[in-house]
Amino acid sequence: MADIAVPVTHLNSIMGILGATKASLWPGVEAVGTLVAGISSGDLTPAETSGTAEALEDDFSPMLHPGGVYSYHFNPTGDHHFAGVDHADYTHGNGTVDTAFSVGALILPNAIASNGIITKFDSAGGAEEYRFWIDADGKLSLELHDASASASEVATGDTTLTLHRPVFVVAVYDGDEVTPDVRLYINGETDNDGATTETGSYVAMEDTASPLLVGCSGVTATPLLEFHGRIAMPFMTGKQLAAAEVKELWNIYRFMVGLP
């Protein structure tokens, strides 16, 4: 069976919603090889134990969806994750002030406790910036971290995710480091009230050397909080997505992956 062509109009629509500031999308049009190309400042490298490059077809089980994009399977047993780079487009604070950003993906979790989705968060190296993950209670969470102060602002969702059920998950931060507003979304619907819990004396995220990672946190040679399940079309943008824009993205994503 031949691969289905990806509708360029849908990718253009996604990028139009994400805007022109630090916008990144990894659509997932590859079924073989050691690269997931990004509409971005950097690509993603499929990796396994100790960060060794690993071909998609060997361990990531690419699944073709009706919209012509692939989802990929991540298994902690082999430390499978996607390794990005450390780039200014993936940093949203300078140690003094934060800037707005939004991050999301379509996921199908086979585990719902302490699973990284998209992170720039090396806790072992003391170089944490943020992590969008499923927390220990099975709920969506976005942690903003001030590395030098060892302080955090954490937003947590209200809903415990369900195993083996595909969901479109998004976190939106307004960039106000003094009184942060972080909105979490599941399938286009708000899943919290925007409040965060502060630990320590949070000032702002810092520009650390942590790489962007999909499917874990830490660094590529030592992945932590490893995701188990499928991830499709991760994105990030340097803007505060409006609720209507998140809903619009959900409608495009559900078409691309064949959800009702």
- pLDDT for residue 1: 35
Q: What is the pLDDT of residue 4?
A: 54
Phi and psi torsions of 51, nearest 5°? 80, 10
Other CB atoms closer than 10 Å to residue 39's CB: what's the count? 15
Q: At residue 254, does pLDDT exceed 80? A: yes
The share of the chain scoring above pLDDT 70, in percent, equals: 98
Task: State the chain's mean pLDDT as an integer.
Answer: 96
* Average pLDDT estimate for 181-197: 98
Query: Residue 2 above 60 pLDDT?
Result: no
| CB distance 104 to 235 below 8 Å | yes
Q: What's the pLDDT score for residue 7?
A: 77
Q: How far is the CA of 37 from the CAs of 41, 46, 89, 240, in angstroms?
A: 10, 11, 16, 24
pLDDT on residue 42 = 94
Check pLDDT > 80 for residue 130.
yes
* Res 210: pLDDT: 97
What does the pLDDT average to over 67-73?
A: 96
Considering the domain delimited by 8-257, tell me its CATH architecture: Sandwich (2.60)
Q: Is 82 exposed, middle or buried (0-12, 13-18, 19+ CB in 10 A)?
A: buried
Taking residues 227-244, what's their average pLDDT? 98
Per-residue pLDDT at 52: 93
